[in-house]
């Protein structure tokens, strides 16, 4: 197993699906803030970083894999969280891509928006999420006896969907009431060995909509790309 280091920031966003996969598969890795990895504030180093954004997966202290989709697919291959059948893989990847389309503005809103901006975005987001949640509900309903989208075991797409749907509950805890299959899917992922432990131990996101912070080692830290 290669040495893995995941580099990101203080937010619950693009590093979540990779971390869920790593914990579910029992794959060791370390997590490092961008300013620690680069040894400089992000504002000073950003222009010199490939693609000028994170997350970044560092493999064996040498190879740097940028872009969250590339990271997720590499880890899916490494951990066996992708199907062997090419047609099924295409369906899995389509679902993963559909989940990633929810990133903006959902992730930025939950992690950073406050006050009137949050309230305005919240109502728009709930409306925008409904068609995609209906799509997820339809797919799950086509296989009502299986716990995950494509069978008895999860693939990388399941973790992509889980992150965004789980995050959306910060908009409204009753958001999934019209989607019983999607709600059950969330519970199935939450109960997975490794995932449950990760969800219980990851920094808690507090103050959504007013003063977003992560509780890191018991200390509230403002979300963002600055080391405070």
pLDDT digits (tens, 9 = 90+) for 29-88: 999 999 999 999 999 999 999 999 999 999 999 999 999 999 999 999 999 999 999 999
Q: Indicate the burial class of 163 (C-beta count within 10 angstroms; 0-12, 13-18, 19 or more).
A: buried
Q: Before 55, cis peptide (omega within 30)?
A: yes
**Average of per-residue pLDDT values in the chain:** 97
Mean pLDDT, range 195-216, rounded to an integer: 97
pLDDT value at residue 228: 85
Q: Which CATH number fits domain 86-193: 1.20.1050.10, 3.40.50.150, 1.10.3720.10, 1.10.1740.10?
A: 1.20.1050.10
**Domain spanning 4-80+198-222: which CATH class is it, in words?**
alpha beta
For the chain, residues classed under CATH 1.20.1050.10 are 86-193
* pLDDT-derived band at 144, boundaries 50, 70, 90: confident
Distance CA 12, CA 5 (A): 17
Check: CB of residue 3 under 8 Å from CB of residue 22: no
pLDDT value at residue 151: 96
pLDDT value at residue 16: 98
Asked if pLDDT for residue 143 goes beyond 90, the answer is no
Question: Tokens in use for 152?
Answer: 């008895």
Phi, psi of 172 (to 5 degrees): -165, 115
For the chain, residues classed under CATH 3.40.30.10 are 4-80+198-222
pLDDT value at residue 185: 98
Selection from 6, 5, 1, 24 nearest residue 156 by Cα: 24
């Amino acid at each position: 197993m290669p040495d893995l280091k995941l580099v990101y920031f203080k937010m619950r966003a693009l590093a979540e699906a990779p971390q869920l996969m790593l914990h579910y598969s029992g794959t060791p890795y370390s997590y490092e803030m961008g300013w620690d990895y680069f040894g400089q504030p992000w504002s000073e180093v950003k222009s010199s970083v490939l693609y000028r954004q994170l997350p970044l997966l560092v493999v064996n202290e040498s190879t740097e894999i940028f872009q969250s989709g590339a990271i997720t697919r590499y880890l899916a291959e490494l951990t066996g969280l992708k199907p062997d059948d090419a047609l099924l893989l295409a369906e899995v990847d389509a679902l993963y891509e559909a989940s990633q389309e929810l990133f903006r503005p959902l992730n930025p809103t939950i992690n950073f928006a406050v006050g009137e901006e949050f309230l305005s975005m919240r109502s728009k987001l709930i409306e925008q999420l409904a068609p995609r949640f209906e799509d997820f509900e339809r797919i799950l309903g086509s296989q009502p006896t299986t716990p995950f989208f494509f069978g008895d075991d999860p693939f990388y797409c399941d973790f992509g969907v889980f992150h965004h749907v789980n995050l959306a509950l910060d908009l409204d805890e009753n958001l999934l009431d019209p989607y019983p299959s999607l709600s059950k899917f969330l519970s199935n992922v939450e109960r997975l060995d490794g995932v449950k432990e990760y969800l219980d131990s990851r920094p808690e996101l507090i103050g959504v909509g007013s003063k977003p912070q992560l509780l890191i080692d018991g200390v509230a830290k403002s979300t963002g790309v600055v080391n405070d």
